[in-house]
Amino acid sequence: ERAIRYFVWSGAALGVALLTKGLALMLIPVIALIAVRSARLASGLLRKAALVVTPMLVAFVIGGWWWARNLIILGRVQPSILGGREPIGNPAEGYDFWFFVGNAVVRFNRSFWGRGSRPEFALPELVADLAGLGFVVALVVAVVVARRRALLLSLWLFPALVVATTVVNAHRIFWDLGRPAQGIQGRYVFAGIAAFAATIAVLFAWIVRRHVGRGVRALAVVGVVLAPAATWAGLWWVYAWVWNGEPA
């Protein structure tokens, strides 16, 4: 009974996400993968199948139907102006695949860390580049030391699919129109915050396990205080500098 409730609630959460944003479509294989792994513990083939199907069915009823409707009526999952263009056989003038790859990596990372349309409020490029490199290193270490590595990788499947979908779409635009920066925005992966949080949590737990005594208590206090402190500092900075102290 409790397992069924968990699967229903996970499907409901996915359904609400699908009702609000198309990027949530990339959550479907993540939830399906986790459901399959969890259902292996159940007894009986019918019960296993029910546990896997339940979250998908609930998600479809709440929000998945909209995307199925688009596909049936409009012929596209999510119509857009650029998406409606006719693809061309030959690339645009000046097309360079490796230039696109390098530009995509740099732009995705820098825009993720806040370098976008407001350069006066942006982090220095070097800071954004080092932050991106540090995050990749942190992810690799977390995967190596994680006790539940499969679950961590399952969570990372969502932002990975978001990045892959975004880059593929941006490459099509570059191929057709020669615009290397079009459609690449780091904010698209903000929805993968569960994977980011899990990565930091794994690293924090690993550090704590390697220390004993007073040091553990100090680390625990730092971990509890740092998250809300960073959140409030960020909110204050946005209010004071971006909005100039005035409500939006």
Sorted by where each begins, the domain ranges of the chain are 1-79, 89-210
Q: What is the pLDDT at residue 50?
A: 83
pLDDT of residue 60 exceeding 90, the answer is yes
Q: What is the pLDDT at residue 105?
A: 92
Greater pLDDT, 148 or 77: 148
Greater pLDDT, 139 or 82: 139
Spatial distance between the Cα atoms of 82 and 87, rounded to a whole number of angstroms: 10
Greater pLDDT, 210 or 104: 104
Q: What is the pLDDT at residue 94?
A: 83
Q: What is the pLDDT at residue 68?
A: 92
Q: What is the pLDDT at residue 121?
A: 67
Q: How confident is the model at residue 220 (pLDDT cuts 50, 70, 90)?
A: confident
Q: How confident is the model at residue 206 (pLDDT cuts 50, 70, 90)?
A: confident
pLDDT tens digit sequence for 16-50 = 999 988 888 999 999 998 888 888 877 788 888 88
